[in-house]
Amino acid sequence: MEQSYKCVHCEQREMEDQSDEQMSFAVLLALVPLVVMTLFGSIGLI
């Protein structure tokens, strides 16, 4: 079987990418209510 070897730099970069992705998802999730309220307000449902 092959064992994959990751260098320290690659592992650090992967962890940074994961934290950036989580932060981007959190911001997106926080903006969803604002977008929904704006949409519903503009079509007169609120």
Confirm if 37 and 46 have CB atoms less than 8 A apart: yes
Q: Which residue has the tokens 């990751």?
A: 6
Predicted confidence band of residue 10 (pLDDT cuts 50, 70, 90): confident
User: Mind listing the pLDDT tens digit for each residue in 16-45?
Assistant: 888 889 999 999 999 999 999 999 999 987
Q: Which residue has the higher pLDDT, 1 or 40?
A: 40
What is residue 17's DSSP assignment?
Answer: H
pLDDT of residue 4 exceeding 60, the answer is yes
